[in-house]
Copies of this chain bind each other. A is one copy, B any other.
Amino acid sequence: MERKTAKECTADQQLPALGIRPYLELMDKTAADHADRKSIRMGLVMLWLSDNILDVMDVDLAPFGITESKLDMLLLLMLHEGRELITPSGIADRLGIRRASVTALLDWLEKRGWVSREQSAKDRRMIHVNITPEGRALVDQVLPTFWSTCASLLGDLDAEERGVFEKILGKLHRSIETRIGVGR
């Protein structure tokens, strides 16, 4: 990021990708037998959107030097401030990742002073994780962008569309939730 060696980098310029049209075309060729092409077509768009929505969020968070996974962890810790103490295992369960992955994320966040670990007095196997004041400051700085990026995902849907879309989102949410089995 800081080095800029002599030869000025043999630009591999980041061209915009092709989009979904070709896949729709392939669909028309190969899914001929399939009953509802319309659903497939819409699913393809959803898949494409999913990829790009995550990208957009990544790009918007990048200037803060944080990624979504890490922000998620900080947000979770922030939510738990003042409630029950939270441990790596608890974090793993709530984020749906393994304890080993939590260890890695915490190491990274701790190195930057955004979280702290403290051994439990009662059960010395356990660790209590806390967000630090610096961590909180970072979150405060990031959140406005985070929310506005969220809001921007709706694009230019008008009021009426938003209303319908809200309901649809609810349905999609529940359907995927059952599909992957979210608890609580």
Contacts and interface: CB of A to CB of B under 8 A. Distances in A.
Categorize the interface residue count of chain A.
35 or more
Contact of A96 (B16, B21, B34, B46): B16
A64 interface: no
Interface in A9-52: 12, 14-23, 25-27, 30-31, 34, 36, 38-40, 42-52
B184 A171 contact: no
A79 B99 CA distance: 42
A31 B147 contact: yes
A92 B12 contact: yes
A115 to B, nearest CB: 17
A31 B143 contact: yes
A161 interface: yes
B161 A168 contact: yes
Contacts of A183: 15-18
Given A31-B143, A50-B54, A155 B184 contact: no
Contacts of A168: 157, 161, 164-165, 168
A66 interface: no
B96 A14 contact: yes
Interface stretch (A104-112, A120-128, A172-180): A172-180
